[in-house]
Amino acid sequence: MSLVRKRLRIAGRVQGVGFRYTAAETAHGLNLGGFVRNCQDGTVEAVAEGEAEHVAAFVAWCGHGPAGARVARVDVTDEAPAGEREFRIER
């Protein structure tokens, strides 16, 4: 099992379309730890930690998001795993 941690900044029409809640459901289904939150600049930030293939699936999902979202860009940064076990929604 190879654990990875990625920080994502998602830009576009991603706030107010259920992005955080659907991202959290997707992450829970993939057994990921981390968080998702809205940022003041209109982007959404997410951190996902878990098995490499599950994190990759989450990053791919963030590339389109839920219905109604218009993702323009996803910036991904690698981080060292921190041992997070749960995925949460932050304000």
Q: Which residues are catalytic?
A: 20, 38
How do beta strands 33-38 and 87-90 pair?
parallel
Calpha distance 43→1 (Å, rounded) = 31
Where do we find the tokens 């659907």?
22
Question: Judging by beta carbons within 10 Å of its beta carbon (0-12, 13-18, 19+), is residue 23 exposed, middle or buried?
Answer: buried
